[in-house]
Chain A
Amino acid sequence: MKEEILKLCGESCDIATRSIKVGLSNVDFIYSEALSSSDAIAKFILQPISDIIIDNVVGVSTKTIIENALTGASCKNVNTIDDAIQKIFLGYTIIIVDNKSMIAVETREQLDRGIESSSIEVAITGSKDAFTENFNKNLGLIRKRIRNNNLFVKEVKLGNESNTKIGICYMNNIAEESLVNKVIEKLKQINNDIIIDGGYITEELSKTTFFPQINQTERPDLASFALLEGKVCIILDNSPTVLIIPTFFIDFFHTPDDYYQKNINTTFIRILRFLAFIIAIFLPGYYISITTYNPTSIPTNLLLNLIEQHTTVPFPAFFEILIMIIAFEILRESDIRIPSKVGSSVSILGGLILGDAAVSAGIISPIMIIVVALSSISSLVFSYNSMVNLIRYYRYFVLILAIFFGIYGLFIGFGLLIINLSSITSFGYPYTYPFVPFVKEDILDSLIKVEKKEKKRNPLLAKKKNR
């Protein structure tokens, strides 16, 4: 058995073995040095086994004696070589007794970081803890908030080669069974060799549109809220984010802070975010359309101001704005990739010095910097990367339409945005909920937030009897 396991593991350098004698039996240990903790092996396996006094025991197999002596919390019998190999790569230590029977003892090394505060979805108030790469910790963070036996977790293994553990969480008494089944069914259809992060699943499940149909969160409180609304959460092993299904367009305008502050503040912030969404997509296009096709709509003094600013610039306005947008994209990408210690230097160099120098050199007009900066900053109001990407693509699309067709192009872009939004469903649920279909109860917690008279569950997602 031992030789076979070592052979199947390619005699990898991290696969360690040790042999000892217990009474008359030969006992072998196989474990991965990379995944197992030597302290745990010593404490839960070697120490108890060395304390065994075999002489006094008659008529009991060595395997049973060892099993009874082990102090580890998780000890499992292993019957096949494949199972044993799988357990080794989960951090277990395999004990082979007389080359006949096997026992797996959990001796996993803590390879993940501890629970830290959320770095992307930052909230001023509310809890600070965030999901980590550890499946059990992530599940624990949700269970800590929902201490209820109705929180069901179903396990699925995905990735032909990676064998990633995936947990599908839902509230059995709230979530619709059809939704849960649909999620499981769709997940099983994924045929990838490797699933490392939620991005792989998101990519597979929402290929048809730019709009993010699955929300990713690193906050356990948001995942808990979603579960209580009747949504399904997917926890992936080794992923610090949890996927929420289904997701509606309005969900991206909600922040973690929304539920921890007064309704009026929440409403204000949500409307501000919606304005930011519109500005981020349409402002560059609108600027181009009014300066190149429809100067009629600009007040006289402002028009003269814009003409003066543009006099020294040798490029047409659309070329100027394209230069600026691409420069900002490069700046943003470099800011994300470079180490944080030099990040601030790049921001100063790129944002302040380059911008100022470009204006002084007469390559870019100051108003263009304002337009691009305002549009780009507005898109960064959203912490969801997929939403930022969507805004980016739509901004280019609307900009091209405005370059060719002016204000008409802008309206064509707006029309296509609405058509696109209306045609999307997220796991069978309309993406524009609760506006279309209009659901009065949920409008009160959509773009605005008003205290509901009756606390009801989500009328679209929750089981009929629990609505």
Chain B
Amino acid sequence: MKLELRGITKRFGALVANDHIDLVVEPGEIHCLLGENGAGKSTLMNVLYGLYQADEGQILLDDVVQGFTGPGDAMNAGIGMVHQHFMLIPVFTVAENVMLGNESTKPGGLLDLEAARAKVVEISARFGFDIDPDALIEDLPVGVQQRVEIIKALSRNANVLVFDEPTAVLTPQETDELMAIMRQLRDEGTSIVFITHKLREVREVADRITVIRLGKVVGEASPTATNAELASLMVGRAVDLTVDKDPAAPGDDALVVRDLTVTDHNGQLLVDGVSFTLRRGEILAIAGVQGNGQTELTEAIMGLQHRVHGSIALDGEELIGRSTRGVLDAGVGFVPEDRTEDGLVGEMTIAENLMLDRSTGEPFVKRGTLQLADLARFAAEKVREFDVRAQGITTRVGRLSGGNQQKVVLARELSRELRLFIAAQPTRGLDVGSIEFVHKRIVETRDAGVPVIVVSTELDEVVALADRIAVMYRGRIVGIVPGDTPRSVLGLMMAGETPAEVAA
């Protein structure tokens, strides 16, 4: 089916998320929609899928104008979507999820589960999936959940399939498998819209590329374009994709973690016997697919986990058993992975957020009273130093863009005397400019002789920053390898395998 978007415009208040966007997707092609986070890709697709109503413009399928008022209309017209955050109900089975909203029933509204199971099995067989229709979604790994999403869309006879950032949660191997599935779908005549900001994937699978920047189509590109060409089109200026850094000059051992084990309240092991040593002036990147214990590892160091065994020694001092306050006082800086949830208080001002971890005493609190003048001076200085774009230090943090929010977090954490710096997913959801800034500050921190841990699920980031790389899989460290280890090897390690060259 041919999909055409004509002059789609969507405004949220004063913000124009989509500005007269035109897009044509021919049957049997994979059309990539490339753009930075916040460029308006997802908004456009939500308009297409009927979740948002466009303020202007038309959606045409096979040259017929459509008037979608909800996702139901879009689905009936043959549009399917694999969402970035899976739209599956965790406590339902695969079959129930696939049939939901499109149930085949026997008389009396009785669900025909047999038909749904048969459909799951039939579509699975077509793509060589091995999926139990009666498995609960919450028990399935994310890669399999994504396949359920695909089955769900196909079971409604989707002729246009939209993939919204589908690779964010996948290992490199799972990503390759997904690409193969997309090619197979294309060859069967399905039109595919593939939304992403990852250049490598675009070049690998796209038949055509449309680049969106700040809500506007800024051009088309050919899949043969280089990474640098695509990136400059996406960002609007020449981009240096590599991080400038000198070789590390590691000093003494600073952080020594031995047999660290973290369990949840059910006794499930989240971190399983992890040991590593981190030296001063080096960056250790912790790579791995989301949910393999990285979060819990950093939280254990910060004193945020309760069931922790083993040893975490910073410059010879044991950190386990200390309160989070105690860990901070020991000189640990921490950028949590979810800045809006754990890193900042959205309703408070930039200045207030900058003193959040120093609310117990000098310099900002004297005799139980806030030293507002000192705080204002400090905040103004940090806002300048970290290039936080805001109206002033009294702006509420919740109103800032993701990049500026992250700069506030960095400013707070890096403005103390540090003996260890931990950054979890430091650039998640940021624009390229902010990513460059954050990476630069992390390398500077290293060069100042601070030991740094960077947790990232983005292989690009890991490779760009790391002096050494520890790969985590199911709570264990699969191996610790040098920073220049090839991606293919890292990919295998992220799936839990230990390649020969690592074992050797």
Partners in one complex: no
